Structure formats: C-alpha cells, structure tokens
Amino acid sequence: MIAEEKIAEIRQAARISEFISPHVALKRRGRNLVGLCPFHDEKTPSFSVNDERGFYHCFGCGTGGNVFKFLMAIEGLSFPEAVRKVAERYGIDVPEEGGGPQAPSRDRYFQANASAARYFRRCLLETPAGRPVLEYLSQRGIGEDASETFLLGASPTSGDGLLRWFKKESIDLSVGRQLGLLLERGGRLQDRFRGRLMFPIRDVQGRVVGFAGRAVAEDAGPKYLNSPESPVYHKSRVLYGLFEAREALRETSTLILVEGYLDAIALRQAGMGSVAATCGTALTAEQARTIRRQADEVVVVFDGDSAGTAAAARSFPVFTDAGLWPKMVVLPGGEDPDSFVRARGLEAFEAELGRAVPLVDAFVRYTAQAAGGGASGAARAASELSAVLARLENPFERDVLIRKAALWTGISEDVLRRQAPGAAARSGAARRGPATQPAKAPGGAPGPEELLVTLMLTGDDIVRRVHDEKVIDLMVSPVWKPVATAMIDRFNRGLPGDAGTTLEEIPEQYRRRVAERLVEGAGLDDAGTRERILADCVRGIRRSARRRHNQSLLLELRRREELGADVKPGEDLADWKPRNLSDA
C-alpha cells in the first residue's frame, strides 16, 4: 500500500495534461484543453482536460477522472503502477510496498519535527540559552505575538540538548538524523543547530516540515543553516509563512511575496497578514502553483538591491506558467521589507504596494540587459522572450509582453509576433465553430446542495469553509450529501481535494452538468462570485433545514393536541396513544 497522503502529494505535483498529451492532441480552450476522446469515436472534440483542478472529462461518453485513472485506462497500468509512473516523472520517492521497518511513516517525521519545535520554543522562553536569541529578537523589533505565531525558538550552544530531549521524548534518533536535526561527528550523535534563532517551516497544513536557523553571534558559522531535504522537507515546494497567512488570505486574494523569514514576520507583525517568503531560493514551478491555489494575485516585494530585482525578474515566467500575472514593488533606498516597515510603518508600505508595477516590465528589461548589447544581444533576448511569449495564453498579456519586448530589444512587434504565434492562434480552429462546444446538459436550475458540491470542487478553501460552517449535517439530498461528506472526510484526513475522483462519485446523470460548470468556469474562479455563491448555498440549505424543523415542530404540536393536554412537554410521544383510543 502506498500511503494515502503520498498519493495525494504525487497527484498534486502532476500536471495532468503532460500525461494525456502523448495520447491525445490537445488544444487550449479558455482554461481547459480539449481534444478527441481516446475512449470513444468522435469527429468533434468533447474530451476536456483541466490542469488547474487535475481532472479530465469526456462530454461525449461521460468518462473521466484524475491522472491515475487516465493512465490506468489508456496504458492498462494498475493503480500503484500509475502512481509510480507519475511520481517518477517528478522525482518523488515512493516507499516500497509494505513499508517495512526500514521506512518510518511520514507521521514519525512530523512528530519528531513538532517535538523539536517544542524544544526550541522552550529553550527560547524558559532557559538561559534563549537569552541571546531573545535579545536579538528585541533588537529586530519582533514581539511576543509574532514570535508565538511563527513558533520561533532557540537552539542552545551546548550541542546535545536536542539529542537528550529526543531520548526523553522517545523520538527515534535515526529519524532525527534523517531530518538533519542530529548529525554524527567523531562517532557521536550531536545537535546540528547550535546557538541559533530557529524558524520552524510549516507546510500548508501546518505541519512542521523543516527548520531554518539564523546565527545570532558574529562568529557562529553561516548566517543561515537550513534543514536538508528529507522525506517531509522539499525546499522547492514550501513557502515560509503561507500556513500562517491562511486567515488573512480568506479576506484578501492578494499574496505579498517576500524573500526572507524576517521580512514575512515583520510584515505580519505590522498588520500585513497575507505574506509568504521564498527564503532566498529562486521561485520554483511548484511554489508558484501552490501560490495559485491560495491566491489570485501576487505582489513580489524582494530586496531593493540588484540581486533582489534580478530574482524578481527571473520569477516572471515561473508565475505566468502557473497562471499568475504578478506585480512588483521596488522599495526605495535599497531597503528590504523588514527594515522598511520597521522604519516607516504599515501605511508607508501600503503606499508602496499602491505603486506596484507589472513584473513583466522588470522581466523584459532584465532579459534585454542580461543578453548584452548589439544585434546578437537583441536577437538572444528576443528569442528568450519569444519562448515565454509562446507559453502565454491570455491575448492581453501577450500583447503587453510583445510591446515591452519590442521596446527593449529594438526588434519590431511584427517579428516578435511571427516568432511566437501563441496559444490563441494555434487553437484558433477549436475556437471557431459552435459545433465544437460541448452540448448543454438537460435539467433545471441546480439546487443549493448541488451548487455547493460544485463549488467545493473548485478549491479546498471552500471545503474548509463548508467544514467550519457545519453545513453537511443540514444537507438531505441522497445524491449530494454523500459526495459532500466524502469530500469533508478527505479534508479531515488532511488530504487535498481530488476533483477527478469526486466527479466519479457523482451519479452519472448529474456528473455531466457539474463537470460542465467546472470546465466552463461560470465565474467559479472569481473570488467575489465564489463568496456570493457560497453564501447563497449555505443560506438556502439552512433555510430548508429550518423549514423542515418548523414542520416537524408543527407536526409534534398537532400530535400533542391529538393525544390530549396531559402529555408533558418534552415527553416521548411514542409511548402515548390518543386518549379516545385508550379510553375505549
């Protein structure tokens, strides 16, 4: 058995179209890709693939599912084979069947990390070892609230404090070693982090996956020391502070992306909650996709020096591949967000956000300058820009990039346009005729329970809200309640949503129109519309529940009347018979 959460991790890493396109020629249509269904004979494409939510659905024959289902159906793989195939593509390790004593479960890594975080926190607050770190925090203006929110801690200089703590807590020391918290030196196990301010790094579910330790003394080695890659820590997937930002991201759909741990903490402390940090690594495709799942817009606020500007510029194509069109702020005087917000306050920072410019500007300028001068430099820059251009699907975004590229390379817009015909032109045939549109499903307007399930399929933020609002208990539909319940169960087990699988759980006669709404979008991607639909659904479901409740109260009143006045309120009616019957 492959662990459920491993399977979810692999599915989330996958771009489903990468696995379908070798079998089906796909063309872009809006946010989806369409092609001729490989599972039934057809002349016009009704096979739809949605990368964002990781599912495919054929409106002709009704087949559909997630990436694993597709590989099983088309290549005849078993489920574990399909999972392994996808994992291999993304370099994700899948533990062998059965696990065995050699492979501790992921839970044990999370437990060890959580235990270490508790230990570091205690050291900070309750031991003399925490004093230099507390001093450093107060120098940096980090207060207790922020320290608590981010679970900041201190690693003592002794070198075996965590080792002894792990022994006391019965944590498997080999797990501690694999996590890079302990290391062997001269044949003895020791603490890896010493005399450092400790930042626990959490995944989007709030589990501690790794640590960063910042030196607080001058001569204490490298400024930052990070956990190595481990079974639970993958640097390329994590964004620092994203978990802590989840509350704020429910209020706003704009994420502020910064570079450093302390930038994220300082902004949060100043009152800017929707912030996450890349922690000095170049933005990866996985990070960008993670951001896209949590936010609709991004403002990149990297350090004001040239390295920061270059890093921001280089992140542009990574963002656009994930479907984001970011903005950028360059802070005056080469300041970083931490120093800026401490010196000048939140209002000044918000004013800078108000002056954010599209990141595409910095990207084009950077590419043109990095390619060097002269005709060969311009040609080099133009071909790099064309490569990005070719992947852009939004015609307005393409137009902006072409105009900027022409301006900075001196190559004419016409030439640039010809060099990168673009997705829109390539899929022109698919956009033309109404015959290629999927046929409309029959049936009346969907009720609130159906709409709610559809909305839950669009993102785990909605699933969380439905869970928190306890709406499921009030649902009654034999079709939609089981589907919604299954989704909440997944959520409670810490697993991300799986639109492909959930669609299959919906009875066939309804599946088509839910898939249709998902594929067509129908405003389901717009934050405001989502909120409105969610509120309407919840209100509708509550109202029906109230009506049913009132009806049953009324019924009970009538029964009591029938039974006579001597039934005391609250008494069970089941044992009573109407008086005229018992008297007879």
Q: How far is the CB of 66 from Zn ion (least distance, A)?
A: 16
Q: Is 195 in the site for Zn ion (CB under 5 A)?
A: no
Please calculate the CA angle 370-373-376 and round it to the nearest 5 degrees.
95
Nearer Cβ to Zn ion (39/90): 39
Binding mask 409-438 vs Zn ion (x if CB under 5 A, - otherwise)? ------------------------------
Chain centre to alpha carbon of residue 29: 24
If residue 200 lies in a helix (H) or strand (E), which one and from where to where? strand 196-202
Nearer Cβ to Zn ion (56/199): 56
Q: Is 439 in the site for Zn ion (CB under 5 A)?
A: no
Nearer Cβ to Zn ion (59/349): 59
Nearest-angstrom CA–CA distance, 42 and 124? 66
Q: How far is the CB of 497 from Zn ion (least distance, A)?
A: 24
Assess contact for 173 and 166: CB atoms under 8 A: yes
Nearest-angstrom CA–CA distance, 511 and 229? 41
Assess contact for 177 and 184: CB atoms under 8 A: yes
**Under rule CB under 5 A, how many of the chain's residues touch Zn ion?**
6
Of 26-34, 59-67, 213-221, 348-356, which segment contacts Zn ion by CB under 5 A? 59-67
Nearer Cβ to Zn ion (55/302): 55
Please calculate the CA angle 292-295-301 and round it to the nearest 5 degrees.
95
Q: How far is the CB of 64 from Zn ion (least distance, A)?
A: 9
Nearer Cβ to Zn ion (37/300): 37
Q: How far is the CB of 240 from Zn ion (least distance, A)?
A: 44
Nearest-angstrom CA–CA distance, 438 and 18? 23
Q: How far is the CB of 62 from Zn ion (least distance, A)?
A: 7
Nearest-angstrom CA–CA distance, 131 and 103? 38
Nearer Cβ to Zn ion (60/448): 60
Binding mask 6-45 vs Zn ion (x if CB under 5 A, - otherwise)? -------------------------------x-xx-----
Residue holding tokens 């593509």? 89
Q: How far is the CB of 46 from Zn ion (least distance, A)?
A: 6
Read off the tokens for 348.
């000044």
Nearer Cβ to Zn ion (58/359): 58
Of 56-64, 107-115, 138-146, 338-346, which segment contacts Zn ion by CB under 5 A? 56-64
Nearer Cβ to Zn ion (25/282): 25
Read off the tokens for 537.
């659904």
Q: How far is the CB of 501 from Zn ion (least distance, A)?
A: 18
Nearest-angstrom CA–CA distance, 318 and 282? 10
Q: How far is the CB of 27 from Zn ion (least distance, A)?
A: 16
Q: Among 35, 45, 54, 60, indicate the residue that binds Zn ion (CB under 5 A).
A: 60
Of 58-66, 186-194, 200-208, 397-405, which segment contacts Zn ion by CB under 5 A? 58-66
Distances, alpha carbon 479 to alpha carbons 17, 484, 486, 563, in Å: 30, 9, 12, 37
Q: Please list the alpha-helical segments (H only) found in 252-296.
A: 261-270, 285-294
Q: Is 74 in the site for Zn ion (CB under 5 A)?
A: no
Beta carbons within 8 Å of 305's beta carbon, 6+ residues apart: 334
Contacts (CB under 5 A) with Zn ion, residues 366-405: none
Q: How far is the CB of 511 from Zn ion (least distance, A)?
A: 13
Contacts (CB under 5 A) with Zn ion, residues 220-259: none
Q: How far is the CB of 53 from Zn ion (least distance, A)?
A: 19
Of 54-62, 406-414, 517-525, 566-574, which segment contacts Zn ion by CB under 5 A? 54-62
Nearer Cβ to Zn ion (436/544): 436
Nearer Cβ to Zn ion (61/310): 61
Nearest-angstrom CA–CA distance, 32 and 13? 18
User: What 8-state DSSP symbol labels residue 334?
Assistant: G
Please calculate the CA angle 365-371-376 and round it to the nearest 5 degrees.
125
Nearer Cβ to Zn ion (58/487): 58
Distances, alpha carbon 303 to alpha carbons 18, 193, 212, in Å: 35, 27, 19
Q: Say whether 75 sits in a helix, a strand or coil.
A: helix
Nearer Cβ to Zn ion (312/499): 499
Query: Which of 178, 92, 58, 172 has the alpha carbon at shortest distance from 438?
Result: 58
Q: Is 61 in the site for Zn ion (CB under 5 A)?
A: yes
Tell the burial category of 557 from Cβ atoms under 10 Å away from its Cβ (0-12, 13-18, 19+).
exposed
Of 60-68, 117-125, 172-180, 422-430, which segment contacts Zn ion by CB under 5 A? 60-68
* Amino acid letter for position 309: T
Q: Is 58 in the site for Zn ion (CB under 5 A)?
A: yes
Q: Which residues bind Zn ion (CB under 5 A)?
A: 37, 39-40, 58, 60-61
